């Protein structure tokens, strides 16, 4: 798929598509109302990916103080393994830098090897496990972080 991936803020008209994608991708999906309510908050970032004008996926992140918690990254099946997930993550990293965040964090199902490989390829570091974090099915969550700020010289 040699198509340009465009990342833009999720629009009100795309909330229904994001919720439909949630139902396909996740066992505990966010509802349309949950997405709409979260997207209205200043500390939330919602991005949509488009390929040739088609809705290809979306991502969300909660920004609190100097941390960004990546909540969801979902890519429609026809667009998987074509750079859409990577483009969404890269856009979240850029948004984190724009907001002067120090770190981004996320958790991922132990069984989601494809997502883990993507996060590690981007530079996320696995640094913990939440036992039995997910339900349907019950599964551990691997915790990842990505440092955004380069430590400066120490001051005394």
- So which residues are the catalytic ones? 107, 119
The token pair at 45 is: 């970032």
What are residue 124's phi and psi, to 5 degrees?
-70, 145
Residue of 92, 97, 72 lying closest to 15 (CA atoms): 72
Dist CA 114 CA 153 (whole Å):
37
DSSP 8-state secondary structure symbol assigned to residue 144: E
Contact 47, 58 (CB under 8 A): yes
Residue of 24, 57, 59 lying closest to 45 (CA atoms): 59
Dist CA 132 CA 139 (whole Å):
5
């Amino acid at each position: 798929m040699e198509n340009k991936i465009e990342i833009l803020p999720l629009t009100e008209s795309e909330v229904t598509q994001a919720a439909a994608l949630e139902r396909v991708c996740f066992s505990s999906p966010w509802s349309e109302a949950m997405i709409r309510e979260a997207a209205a908050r200043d500390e939330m970032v919602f991005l949509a990916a488009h390929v040739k004008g088609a809705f290809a996926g979306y991502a969300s992140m909660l920004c609190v103080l100097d941390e960004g918690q990546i909540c969801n990254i979902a890519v429609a099946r026809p667009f998987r393994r074509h750079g859409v997930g990577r483009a969404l993550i890269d856009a979240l990293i850029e948004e984190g830098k724009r907001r002067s965040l120090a770190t981004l964090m996320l958790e991922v199902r132990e069984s989601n090897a494809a997502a883990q490989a993507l996060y590690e390829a981007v530079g996320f570091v696995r640094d913990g496990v939440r036992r039995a974090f997910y339900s349907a099915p019950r599964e551990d969550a691997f915790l990842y972080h990505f440092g955004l700020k380069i430590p400066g010289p120490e001051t005394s």
